[in-house]
Chain A
Amino acid sequence: MNDSFIQINGISKHFGNVKAVDDVSFQIKEGEFFSLLGPSGCGKTTLLRLLAGFEYPTSGNLLLDGSDITALPPDKRPTNMVFQNYAIFPHINVEKNVQFGLRKLGLTNDEIAKRVKDVLSLVKLEGYEERYSSQLSGGQRQRVALARALVRQPKVLLLDEPLGALDKKLRDEMQLELRTLQKEIGITFVFVTHDQQEAISMSDRVAVMSEGKIQQMSSPNELYKNPQNIFVSDFIGETNFLKAKTDSKDGEYINVNIEDLGSFKIKNNLNISENASDVICSVRPETMMIDKEKSDWDICLEGKIKQTSYLGEMTKFYVETKEIEKIITVSSQYFDNQSFQNGKCFISINLNDISLLNKK
């Protein structure tokens, strides 16, 4: 497998004064399911459109499988795209839509028929050949868009928030299906989404983007457990931020003075310097414990529940404590919104579950 199948070298794209993509460099592996994740306006879609050839970079170059594609128009690139709104041609039926991109590939009629048949069976759309876009559901349109792109056997499939328009149930199904499909056919997928859950559940690697730059690029696990900065920590999942100052280092650990709570020895993953005055501790709601009684965990605080939200598989508690100014969010699978009648509770934290971040 080629580790630098797609090479993005110092790519910038400016629209007037806006730096949509700002000097981004990274590589995507062959056969990888790679996601570009970020809030709207972070530059992820622009980057995808640069790969597709709908935009040309202000500076930098793009290499695909060793050849420079920076200046190639979309019709000359070995990439295909699944559009956000699917862009199914409304004036031709499903079969003609799927055949659309085969015209210039120099295939015989038999080969075309076989490819169309195979790809429609791959996306489970056999029997829909004669339908028009207006006669299809959202999920079916999505499959047509997928089939139409895959039938050309591209080196890279680009997907622009393809699940955004589907309802939750269907979206979950399609996530699993897309993932399975990608492993089956082995084509490199570059997937754009603003949905962090979608990105971490499907991808081999995720690049989190903000303001035209890559904030962090790593496996979904790494992203969740070891966020490199506050933006990533906040964007991926939910978390509580506590202000802190660092003291002296102690091997892999560092002494940290957490505001209102006191001094603790915490693992220093990001190699944060001693005596830094603006450090943030991040604690995920599900790593904490909420209980009716005191625990023997590293930190245990008495609190009062201000608000709960019941989510079925778990319940979120918004807890006020004497020590910490902010309301702390804790989630629990054992207790629900009816467990604490008087609102009195104890929340406990393990030091291992605190990650240190530079405020920057």
Chain B
Amino acid sequence: MEQKNNTLLIYTLLYFAFLYIPVLFLPIFSFNDANYMSFPLSGFTTEHYEEMWAKTNLHKALWASIKVGVVASVVSTTIALFAAKAFARYKFRGQNISYGAIMIPFLIPEIILAVAILVIWLSLGFKLGLVPVTLGHILFCTPFAMLILIARIEGFDFSLEEASRDLGENAWGTFYRVSLPLYLPGIIASLLLSFIISFDEFVLAFFLTGSDATLPMYMWAQMRFIQKLPHVLALGAVIIVFTTFIVLLAFWLRNLGQGKEKAEFGIKIHE
């Protein structure tokens, strides 16, 4: 018994080491006083971070990524919310097919999606830029958003909605006063995760941005010059911390009140 537990523990530790050690190098080298990623470390400095923040192009790219991320997450979460409600609440003809149709962008190689959008967008005579990137991100984020929201809405006690109808609220009043507050943790989790997916996305942005770089595009452009590597490392470290925080927050929200009494949960923040 003891032996078996140790084996499992070692396996777990190795697994996490495999996952996270490469990622940990980034912040370590971002504080290293050298232009190359190599040991031994030569000294501690925050210079790279100052250098990073001084670039105005970075500010522009950051702003572009935030705009795309906000629009993509809000639109994909809205679409996913209505879809998830339909899938969780009703049984209808063509349910499996439409579920599959929404999930497919999740499985198609991103590069194919990107090329397809590029070809259509250009053949329609539109210019490349943040708009097609946003549209691509909506397509790509919706399946994620729907998975999160279905997990929240499934097992939801729909008699609560019936009770609201019974107590004189119409369909919209019921949605606003009962469904929305109860789905809210899932909705926020979906917004956060969609935003992060969009914020980190590279392939679609690579094909569709044209001259308006998003943050990953900016990083990629910078990496071509070896002397700029350190401040990309600094930027990478900041993004890792930010992403980790958002993802943890999203998972915490998603699981909130999902224990034994999922439907019993509301947002008792005011308590």
Interface residues, chain A, with chain B CB atoms under 8 Å away: 52-54, 73-75, 79-81, 83-85, 87, 89-92, 100-101, 103-105, 132-134, 148-149, 152
Contact = CB atoms under 8 A, between A and B. Distances in A.
Contact of A132 (B157, B165, B177, B268): B268
B182 A83 contact: no
A75 B168 contact: yes
Interface string B231-271: 00000000000000000000000000000010111111001
B135 interface: no
26 contacts: A54-B165, A73-B165, A73-B170, A74-B166, A79-B166, A81-B163, A81-B166, A85-B159, A87-B160, A87-B162, A90-B160, A90-B263, A91-B265, A91-B266, A100-B164, A100-B169, A101-B166, A103-B168, A103-B169, A104-B168, A132-B266, A132-B271, A133-B264, A149-B166, A152-B167, A152-B168
Contact of B162 (A74, A101, A105): A74
A75 B170 contact: yes
A359 to B, nearest CB: 40
B113 interface: no
B166 A80 contact: yes
A340 to B, nearest CB: 50
B159 A80 contact: no
B264 A100 contact: no
Contacts of B160: 87, 89-90
Contacts of B70: none
B266 A75 contact: no
Contacts of B66: none
Contacts of A134: 261, 264
Interface string B124-165: 000000000000000000000000000000000101101111
Nearest to A160: B159
Nearest to A80: B166
B270 to A, nearest CB: 10
B188 to A, nearest CB: 14
B163 A89 contact: yes
A99 to B, nearest CB: 10
B170 A87 contact: no
A272 B165 CA distance: 49
B185 to A, nearest CB: 11
Contact of B163 (A53, A87, A91, A132): A87
B219 to A, nearest CB: 42
B267 to A, nearest CB: 6
State the majority secondary structure of interface residues on B.
helix
Contacts of B163: 81, 83, 87, 89, 148
Given A89-B160, A90-B182, A105 B168 contact: yes
B181 A100 contact: no
B178 interface: yes
Contact of A101 (B167, B182, B266, B268): B167
Given A75-B170, A100-B164, A91 B267 contact: yes
Given A81-B163, A91-B265, 11 more contacts: A54-B166, A75-B169, A80-B167, A83-B159, A87-B157, A89-B163, A92-B266, A103-B168, A105-B168, A132-B266, A132-B271
A85 B266 CA distance: 17
A113 to B, nearest CB: 18
Most chain-B Cβ atoms within 10 A of its Cβ — which of A53, A92, A149?
A92
Given A83-B159, A85-B157, A85-B159, A91 B268 contact: yes
Interface string B59-81: 00000000000000000000000
B162 A54 contact: yes
Nearest to B160: A87
A90 B177 CA distance: 12
B165 A75 contact: yes
Contacts of B178: 89
Nearest to B170: A75
A83 B266 contact: no
B232 to A, nearest CB: 45
A148 B167 CA distance: 8
B166 A91 contact: no
A93 B17 CA distance: 47
Contact of B159 (A87, A100, A104, A105): A87
Most chain-B Cβ atoms within 10 A of its Cβ — which of A53, A73, A87, A105?
A87
B166 A75 contact: yes
Contacts of B267: 91
B163 to A, nearest CB: 4
A94 B181 CA distance: 16
Contacts of B166: 52-54, 74-75, 79-81, 101, 149
Given A83-B163, A132-B268, A134-B261, A91 B181 contact: yes
Nearest to B162: A54
Contacts of B264: 90, 133-134
Contacts of A133: 264
Given A85-B159, A89-B178, A91-B182, A104 B265 contact: no
